[in-house]
Chain A
Amino acid sequence: MKKFITIAGICCALPIIVIALLAWQGNQQGSPNTPQQKEKANNEVVSATVGKEFPTFSVIDVDGVSIANQVIKGKPTIIWFTTTWCTPCQIGAKKVAKFNEELGNLLNVLVFFVDPRESENDLRKWRDSYASPDWKLAFNNGLAEKIGIKFLDSKYFLDKDGMILDFNTQIVDDYYLNLLRSATKVNQ
């Protein structure tokens, strides 16, 4: 019986490990392959910590608009790393959208989607369902890996000069909204 349990366990675990490895490899397709690219990528690894300026980035959002650090300066900004299917993130996005509306759209919100299997259409649908039309949505393109993001629902809150005021990986709640409110008042 013990032998049977061991064999059954291995039979269940092996396909899961193989599928996981294949999927992981698939997710890494956008990663650098040549030694030169790898060296360049290694040199680009940066930390994004509270009190420092958010690392340099440049992406094209789903509307075809180029977004870089300069574009988000001038207003306090939330930089959010999520996926379209993350339920706590959807709930959080709804709360932040409502909160920002009450504040009179004082916040920039830039959302990076970290699941490479999602399409531009998925992102637009997500914006229609949970966010505001003025939110900027873009694919991650390696930024999350570059700054060491490990969790879904990771959020950076930046002041109007692009300095990181807060980093949060929890669901958006009253505590977080109060933090945004007080920081936004100071940054006006």
Chain B
Amino acid sequence: MKPQFLIIKMWGRAWPAVTAIITMLAIFLWPSLPLRGIGNWMTVYFNTPYLFYLYPIIAVLSGIYVGLYVYNKKVAPCCSVESARTGFAGSLTGILLGACPACIPVIAIFLPLAFNIFLSRIAPIFSVISIAVLLWVIYKMNAFKRFS
């Protein structure tokens, strides 16, 4: 059997592929809940430049990360659990802090208004950090190593 990169190989197995796709969709569509509908989310998404470019990347990378994690658990051990935990943190940062100004009420409850404004203002930075962490974790999970 020809060796393949793990990031490609995982799509050949049902469980990792399905969980990856579900995670991607769930993360991408999650802001519809606080924004009360997909229509509202799509309007915000298409009108916020940094969100338009960065949020799909976070969703896709989080999906790949979950797919690799499931591959490790269900199919064959591929990576360390330490990296998996870091990936979870990176993914959560991107989802909660990188999404959009009015989509972070969970965090806003615990913080004063001035802090929330600051967090919303630097949301693009959190998105970039999240993407960097996810890329690093995916790399650490041997996604770019060839397996036969």
**Contacts from A to B (Cβ < 8 Å):** 1-2, 5, 9, 12, 19-20, 23-24, 27-28, 83, 85-91, 114-115, 144-145, 149-153, 169-171, 173, 175
Contacts and interface: CB of A to CB of B under 8 A. Distances in A.
Interface in B84-126: 86, 100-102, 105, 108-109, 111-122
A175 B118 CA distance: 30
Interface residues of B, number: 31
A169 B34 CA distance: 10
B38 to A, nearest CB: 12
Contact of A173 (B37, B100, B114, B118): B37
B108 A150 contact: yes
B117 A115 contact: yes
Contacts of B119: 20
B40 A28 contact: no
Contacts of B122: 19
B6 interface: no
Contacts of B120: 83, 86, 152
Given A88-B44, A150-B108, A151-B108, A24 B114 contact: yes
Interface in B26-53: 34-37, 40, 43-44, 47-48, 51
A144 B113 contact: yes
B82 to A, nearest CB: 6
B128 to A, nearest CB: 12
A20 B43 contact: no
B44 A87 contact: yes
Chain B CB within 10 Å — which of A23, A91, A153, A171 has the most? A171
B82 A145 contact: no
Given A86-B120, A115-B121, A150 B112 contact: yes
B44 A114 contact: no
A150 B118 contact: no
Contact of B102 (A9, A149, A152, A175): A152
B82 A89 contact: no
Given A19-B122, A151-B108, 12 more contacts: A2-B82, A20-B115, A20-B119, A85-B121, A88-B40, A91-B47, A114-B117, A145-B113, A150-B108, A150-B112, A151-B102, A152-B120
Contact of B101 (A5, A9, A87): A87
A134 to B, nearest CB: 24
Interface string B73-89: 00000000010001000
A171 B117 contact: no
Given A27-B117, A83-B101, A88-B44, A1 B37 contact: no
B109 A5 contact: no
Nearest to A117: B121
Contacts of A115: 117, 121
A175 B36 CA distance: 10
